[in-house]
Structure 1
Amino acid sequence: MQGQGSTQAEGAAPIEARDVWIETGQGRLYARQWLPARDVLPPVVLLHDSLGCVALWRGFPEALARTLGRRVIAYDRLGFGRSDPHPGPLDPAFVTLEAEQGFAALRAQLELESFVLMGHSVGGGMAVACAARHADGCRALITESAQAFVEDYTRDGVAQARIAFRDPAQLDRLRRYHGDKARWVLQAWTETWTADAFADWSLRATLPGVTCPVLALHGAQDEYGTARHPETI
């Protein structure tokens, strides 16, 4: 089941946008691909943040596909965006499990022999896990504002965000992208990252499995993590 279209800026090569549904054992994942006229290089796969989805990447994937001349793929994790609802609370190992479940299904269905991974925030941690688990195909890894472990600074930032989301307008904004799944999306973020059961989580055991070149980006004023995260990666 696919849909497709094309977009073109004035004087630029056309980029075809194509929707695809990824079958998993837990439900369907929604994915979107942006395909340049010539598609010969390994594609870039985008992994979204804790409140994100394909739609919230906005114009970035298309611009990336046009600039790099590569196919760009973004997908909604289970429970997010247009994907099926998640069956329950997140497993404390959900970051590394994404490499074995959602991403593995995407890679198999789209027949991705080789690829570049780019992840934002918790999606950056998942990109690390995917690069380690699928080292045979990962040609490069880019993380943006990724968390590599749980620190008090991160927990405090999430706790402040939880207070801000008491404003009904904030939840309504999430509903525009996640529909009836919005409250689950919010709680999956705020309750998981502040839970005692998640306090010892880290990527330290996973990182040695990453064998490709890595670019770790992190803002100096990031409200959810210090510079220790990109230094660790």
Structure 2
Amino acid sequence: MSLSVNTEVLWIDTPQGRLACSRWFPADNPGKPPIVLFHDSLGCVALWRDFPQQLCQASGREVIAYDRLGFGQSDAFPGALPSTFINDEAVNAFAHLKRVLQIDSFVALGHSVGGAMAAACASRYRQDCLALITIAAQAFVEERTLQGIRDAKVQFQNPEHMARLSKYHGDKAPWVLNAWTETWLAPTFADWTLERLVGAIDCPTLVLHGEHDEYGSTLHPQRIAQLANGPSECLILDGCYHVPHREAPEAVLAPVSRFLGAER
């Protein structure tokens, strides 16, 4: 029987602008630490679709998702995206969200580049992050990643693709696309690695990666799992590509629920 879920939409004020935030609560809230979601390079709360509600029901935990500055319903980003944007998310936006929502302990779950942001938060808030979960996250700049971005850049020359992006990001859509493509393709970003970004990750870590991920080989989940000082588990999801939580939700929800089943 599915748990009943309540929702809340709110705004988080930061010095850089307002963040749109959504929360999903189990009706019978057991008071477990919440799961905070970090979206991908073209993502936003709406593009998680029904995954947050499914995750709330499957885990019995509150789920929190927010649009990063420049994305979705949040305010525009002031200028170009800096190459330090992954760590900046942990230092700036997430710090404000954590304070405003009075989040003491939490579980960090990120998709794609959001996985790197979740790892940065797990490292920066080592005493508070009880578990880290990544889905299709990158750990370094790989040619496969760059080629996938180049291919996507060509596809977005089709007005229909930009129209779909504008549906979720409004007039910020061109900035969102450039923030992804031009940052990752820039020569100055070529030597980025997750190992250089984050320090120790002490919490249990679950790393999920699609077998056919078009933006990264299975070297990425292996390297992410190696960062963990605590217990780590790496699962390659059969038949999945870059968005397993939409392609095969149960293949993600089942291991996540099992992983969080131990009181974390």
Could you tell me the TM-score, scaled by structure 1's length? Answer: 0.93
The reply on whether 1:63 has 2:51 as its aligned counterpart is no
How many matched pairs?
A: 223
1:119 alignment partner, SS class: strand
1:142 alignment partner, SS class: strand
Alignment partner, residue 65 of structure 2 = 74
Alignment partner, residue 7 of structure 2 = 17
User: How far apart, CA to CA, are the structure 2 residues paired with 1:42 and 1:118?
Assistant: 13
1:160 alignment partner, SS class: helix
The reply on whether 1:129 has 2:120 as its aligned counterpart is yes
Alignment partner, residue 7 of structure 1 = none
Further displaced range: 188-197 or 201-210: 201-210
* Gap change, CA 1:192 and 1:206, over 3 Å in 2: closer
The reply on whether 1:118 has 2:123 as its aligned counterpart is no
Aligned CA RMSD, in angstroms, stands at 1.0
The reply on whether 1:157 has 2:155 as its aligned counterpart is no
User: How far apart, CA to CA, are the structure 2 residues paired with 1:67 and 1:227?
Assistant: 27
Q: How far off its partner does 1:13 sit?
A: 3.7
1:116 alignment partner, SS class: strand
The reply on whether 1:33 has 2:34 as its aligned counterpart is no
User: How far apart, CA to CA, are the structure 1 residues paired with 2:57 and 2:142?
Assistant: 37
Which consecutive unaligned segments of at least 5 residues does structure 2 have? 225-264
CA deviation string 1:50-95 (max 9, x = no partner): 0000001111111111121110000000000000000111110111
User: How far apart, CA to CA, are the structure 1 residues paired with 2:50 and 2:43?
Assistant: 14
2:75 alignment partner, SS class: coil
- Which structure 2 residues correspond to residues 122-201 of structure 1 after superposition, within 5 A? 122-201=113-192
Which of 21, 41, 50 lines up with 1:50 in the alignment? 41
User: How far apart, CA to CA, are the structure 2 residues paired with 1:142 and 1:13?
Assistant: 22
Percent identity of paired positions between Structure 1 and Structure 2: 53
2:220 alignment partner, SS class: helix
User: How far apart, CA to CA, are the structure 1 residues paired with 2:73 and 2:111?
Assistant: 19
Further displaced range: 200-209 or 185-194: 200-209
User: How far apart, CA to CA, are the structure 2 residues paired with 1:214 and 1:97?
Assistant: 22
User: How far apart, CA to CA, are the structure 2 residues paired with 1:217 and 1:68?
Assistant: 17
Could you tell me the TM-score, scaled by structure 2's length? Answer: 0.82
User: How far apart, CA to CA, are the structure 1 residues paired with 2:59 and 2:223?
Assistant: 28
Q: How far off its partner does 1:207 sit?
A: 4.1
The reply on whether 1:99 has 2:90 as its aligned counterpart is yes
Indicate conservation of the 8 Å contact 1:128/1:206, yes or no: no
User: How far apart, CA to CA, are the structure 2 residues paired with 1:230 and 1:206?
Assistant: 16
Which consecutive unaligned segments of at least 5 residues does structure 1 have? 1-10
CA deviation string 1:171-208 (max 9, x = no partner): 00001000000010011001111001111111113444
User: How far apart, CA to CA, are the structure 1 residues paired with 2:89 and 2:22?
Assistant: 18
The reply on whether 1:89 has 2:77 as its aligned counterpart is no
1:50 alignment partner, SS class: coil
Q: Which runs of 4+ in 1 moved over 3 A?
A: none
Q: How far off its partner does 1:102 sit?
A: 1.0
Indicate conservation of the 8 Å contact 2:3/2:60, yes or no: no
Which residue identity is paired with 1:16? N
1:64 alignment partner, SS class: helix
